[in-house]
């Protein structure tokens, strides 16, 4: 416990003298910037109605440094995404639907909303669950530990209230159910039956409550957002028909100083499952639409992340307008004694030449299930696999056309 508190303290104190902000959960409004083919844009003459249909097509190239890696050295389809945004007077809607490789489908968000006034709105359907750094917990296209633990681009079925002005951002959400497993973009706790597995893990979240508050501080050449998040839910076990509990608490900061951006967060979470006799309470099952295999995570742990980026403007390089250099680091510190930490580190660059964007990531991971294949299958829990406590690398090149 002491090392967890020390790590979180160092990470938060490292950003105390800086400042910055990402764009957290702003009201959905259709863009007026002309976008390339096949983007569809329509506006009413009075400006009170609009429809925008856009998206992205992405491919990727990977080189993975473990024996069971597949598709190394090949340029492959990654995803085709459709974004649909509409407004009618004070009403609005937003949908993101993904066609992914291996024939998978997912919804990262899908809701209708109503603008109460210039600063407040309600969203109903499947909005993002408010928690931590928004919308992405890292700079690179290689997801990091907060995402794999369920704290990045995670939506639930329910409703959300958003208040946002120049200084404050408050979000409150109620989610009686999680998204169906077969269309989840990000992983969430679930039953083995949800993922087509005959597993003894039989828990699911119900009636989740989320709250996120953030304050922005401004100065001449810097801006910082500091925030805190809470989440709690019932943890229903379909075998015992008993309800356990879940809660998570987090703090975060997003800092912008000139061309530098720093993001950091610390999250402590606890699952208390009411499993049948013989099923361990030390781990819970996570999964999504099957794009990644299901996996167990420690039921009690602390997550810490620290990400730094530097933007380089390139006006003399034709269509290439900006290059972002970044470093992403995250760590999962498990409460059970003897369960070694999970770590991920990414160094990379993003190239902005709209409508084309590209990323080049080089990631090292230790005790992270998605790195090392079957030989590292216990990375998020007891690290008892053949590949436990070894570092694995992945080179990932992602190229997208955005319209």
Residue 31 clears pLDDT 70, i.e. is over it: no
- Give the model's pLDDT for residue 198: 75
Q: Looking at residue 68, what is its pLDDT? A: 86
Split at pLDDT 50, 70, 90, the class of 23 is: very low
Which whole number is the average pLDDT over 276-280? Answer: 94
Above 50 in pLDDT, residue 17? Answer: no
Q: Above pLDDT 70, what percent of the chain?
A: 92
Q: Label residue 20 by pLDDT band (50, 70, 90).
A: very low
Confidence class for position 289, pLDDT limits 50, 70, 90:
very high
Q: What is the mean pLDDT of residues 96-120?
A: 97
- What CATH architecture applies to the domain 2-402? Beta Barrel (2.40)
Q: What percent of the chain has pLDDT over 90?
A: 86
Is the per-residue pLDDT at 9 higher than 50? no
CA dihedral defined by 191, 197, 198, 203, rounded to 10 degrees? -10
The domain spans of the chain are 2-402
**Of 268, 266, 235, the residue nearest 253 (C-alpha):** 266
Per-residue pLDDT, 32: 53
Tens-digit pLDDT profile for residues 39-60 = 999 999 999 999 999 999 999 9
What pLDDT does 363 receive? 98
């Amino acid at each position: 416990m002491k090392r967890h508190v020390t790590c979180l303290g160092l990470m938060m104190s490292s950003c105390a003298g800086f400042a910055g902000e990402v764009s957290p959960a702003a009201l959905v409004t259709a863009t007026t910037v002309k976008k390339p083919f096949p983007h569809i844009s329509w506006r009413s003459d009075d400006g009170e109605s609009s429809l925008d249909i856009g998206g992205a097509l992405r491919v990727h190239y990977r080189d993975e440094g473990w024996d069971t890696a597949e598709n190394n050295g090949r340029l492959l389809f990654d995803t085709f995404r459709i974004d649909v945004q509409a407004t009618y007077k004070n009403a609005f809607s937003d949908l993101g639907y993904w066609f992914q490789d291996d024939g998978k489908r997912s919804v990262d968000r899908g809701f209708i909303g109503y603008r109460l006034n210039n600063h407040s709105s309600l969203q109903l359907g499947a909005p993002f669950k408010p928690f931590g750094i928004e919308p992405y917990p890292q700079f690179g296209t290689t997801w990091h530990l907060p995402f794999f633990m369920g704290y990045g681009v995670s939506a639930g079925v329910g409703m959300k209230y958003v208040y946002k002005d120049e200084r404050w951002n408050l979000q409150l959400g109620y989610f009686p159910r999680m998204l169906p497993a077969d269309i989840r973009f990000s992983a969430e706790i679930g039953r083995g039956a949800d993922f087509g597995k005959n597993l003894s893990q039989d828990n699911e979240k119900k009636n989740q409550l989320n709250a996120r508050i953030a304050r922005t501080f401004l100065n001449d050449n810097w801006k910082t957002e500091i925030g805190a998040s809470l989440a709690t839910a019932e943890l229903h076990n379909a075998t015992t028909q008993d309800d356990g509990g879940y809660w998570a608490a987090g703090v975060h900061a997003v800092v912008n100083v000139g061309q530098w951006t720093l993001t950091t967060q610390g999250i402590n979470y606890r699952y208390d499952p009411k499993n049948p006799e013989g099923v361990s309470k030390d781990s819970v099952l996570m999964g999504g639409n099957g794009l990644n295999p299901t996996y167990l995570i420690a039921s009690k742990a602390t997550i810490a992340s620290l990400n730094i980026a530097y933007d380089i403007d390139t006006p003399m390089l034709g269509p290439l307008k900006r290059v972002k250099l970044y470093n992403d680091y995250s760590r999962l510190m498990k409460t059970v004694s003897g369960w070694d930490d999970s770590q991920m580190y990414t160094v990379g660059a993003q190239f902005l030449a709209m409508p084309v964007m590209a990323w080049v990531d080089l990631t090292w991971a230790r005790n992270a299930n998605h790195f090392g294949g079957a030989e590292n299958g216990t990375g998020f829990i007891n690290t008892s696999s053949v590949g436990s406590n070894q570092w694995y690398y992945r080179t990932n090149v992602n190229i997208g056309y955005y319209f």
